[in-house]
């Protein structure tokens, strides 16, 4: 996987990065097309980070680990026993919020297949990709995302300040005087108390243990004394809170479906 941050090349491309821009995953087994599409995406102000994948398994594993993308540009034809349509169906099971834009050079072969499996389908592009159509498809997705309203939490970390989107947080863990904020890619250690954090968190976070607050969007299932998250991590549940935690989770999922 390769990560490109737009702010690093904004001056070269002649635009200013938009705060809260989109997280884009590009999935294609053709290295030339990956480079060309990456160049096109770097010219669009609504794009913040680009994550490039030439392996479907690596892409899906990143989502299993809790990584969030606003949209995945998904090639349909792959030199393996599954297509991008299959991958989009798997993605929907892992995280139905991530939108899909199919990209293909074989329109005649696949155009009648794109609705046969369930996916959060937002668009369809043919190769070579027209920059204006790419821009219009991404703008369609961006218009559904209230960037300015995306909740974040600000943490003091290593002498500085870190702003973390709450949707990327898997859980908070209290260890003595410090709080460990576990995201898909890192653990951020800051000073504080769990009681202070739970008071400022929006619905969707639940204190399931005296030392843990879990993001209910990241829950895969409950076991007797622990919660299994989508990325496979385990979060303990107090015996006294187990039934209450399950009820809160069921109620929250019912409201967000």
Per-residue b or e along 43-82, where b marks 16 or more CB atoms closer than 10 Å to that residue's CB: ebebbbbbbbbbebeebbebbbbbbbbbbbbbbbbbeeee
Q: Does the pLDDT of residue 92 top 90, yes or no?
A: yes
CA angle centred on 242, ends 238 and 243, rounded to 5°: 155
CA angle centred on 64, ends 41 and 141, rounded to 5°: 35
Beta strands in 137-233 (DSSP E): 152-157, 160-165, 169-175, 178-183, 187-191, 205-209, 212-215, 219-222, 226-229
Q: Comparing 172 with 241, which gets the higher pLDDT? A: 172
Please check whether residue 26 is in contact with residue 41, taking contact to mean a CB–CB distance below 8 angstroms. Answer: yes
134-145 pLDDT tens trace: 999 999 998 887
Q: Does the pLDDT of residue 123 top 90, yes or no?
A: yes
Q: Hunting for tokens 């030439």 — which residue is that?
A: 54
- pLDDT bin (cut points 50, 70, 90) of residue 100 is very high
Q: Hunting for tokens 């005087």 — which residue is that?
A: 177
Domain with CATH 3.40.50.2300 in the chain: 2-148
Q: Does the pLDDT of residue 159 top 80, yes or no?
A: no
Domain with CATH 2.40.50.1020 in the chain: 151-256
Q: Hunting for tokens 């209230």 — which residue is that?
A: 146
* CATH for 2-148 (3.20.20.70, 1.10.3720.10, 3.40.50.2300, 1.20.1280.290): 3.40.50.2300
Of 231, 250, 119, the closest CA to residue 183 belongs to: 231
Angle between helices 31-41 and 131-142 (to 10 degrees): 60
Please check whether residue 102 is in contact with residue 124, taking contact to mean a CB–CB distance below 8 angstroms. Answer: yes
Q: Comparing 17 with 70, which gets the higher pLDDT? A: 70
* CATH for 151-256 (3.40.190.10, 3.20.20.60, 2.40.50.1020, 1.10.287.130): 2.40.50.1020
CA angle centred on 211, ends 209 and 217, rounded to 5°: 65
- pLDDT bin (cut points 50, 70, 90) of residue 18 is very low
Residue 182: its pLDDT value, please? 94
- pLDDT bin (cut points 50, 70, 90) of residue 146 is low
Residue 255: its pLDDT value, please? 57
In this prediction the pTM is: 0.60
Q: Does the pLDDT of residue 111 top 50, yes or no?
A: yes
Of 231, 219, 253, 235, the closest CA to residue 172 belongs to: 235
27-46 pLDDT tens trace: 999 999 999 999 999 888 88
């Amino acid at each position: 996987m390769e990560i490109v941050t737009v702010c690093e090349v904004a001056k070269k491309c002649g635009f200013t990065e938009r705060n809260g821009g989109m997280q884009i995953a590009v999935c294609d087994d053709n290295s030339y097309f990956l480079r060309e599409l990456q160049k096109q995406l770097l010219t669009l102000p609504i794009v913040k980070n680009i994550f490039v994948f030439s392996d479907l398994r690596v892409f899906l594993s990143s989502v299993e680990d809790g990584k969030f993308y606003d949209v995945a540009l998904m090639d349909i034809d792959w030199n393996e026993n599954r297509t991008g349509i299959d991958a989009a169906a798997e993605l929907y099971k892992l995280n139905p919020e991530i939108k899909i834009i199919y990209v293909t050079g074989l329109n005649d072969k696949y155009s009648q297949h794109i609705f046969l499996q369930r996916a959060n389908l937002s668009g369809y592009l043919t190769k070579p990709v027209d920059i204006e159509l790419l821009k219009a498809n991404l703008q369609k997705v961006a218009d559904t995302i209230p960037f300015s309203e995306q909740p974040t939490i600000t943490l003091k970390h290593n002498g500085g300040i870190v702003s973390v989107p709450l949707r990327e947080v898997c859980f908070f863990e209290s260890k003595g005087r410090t709080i460990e904020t576990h995201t898909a890619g890192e653990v951020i250690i800051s000073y504080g108390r769990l009681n202070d954090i739970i008071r400022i968190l929006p619905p969707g976070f639940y204190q399931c243990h005296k030392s843990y607050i879990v993001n209910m969007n990241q829950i895969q299932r409950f076991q007797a004394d622990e919660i299994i998250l989508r990325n496979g991590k385990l979060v303990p549940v107090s015996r006294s809170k187990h039934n209450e935690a399950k009820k809160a989770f069921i109620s929250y999922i019912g409201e967000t479906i």
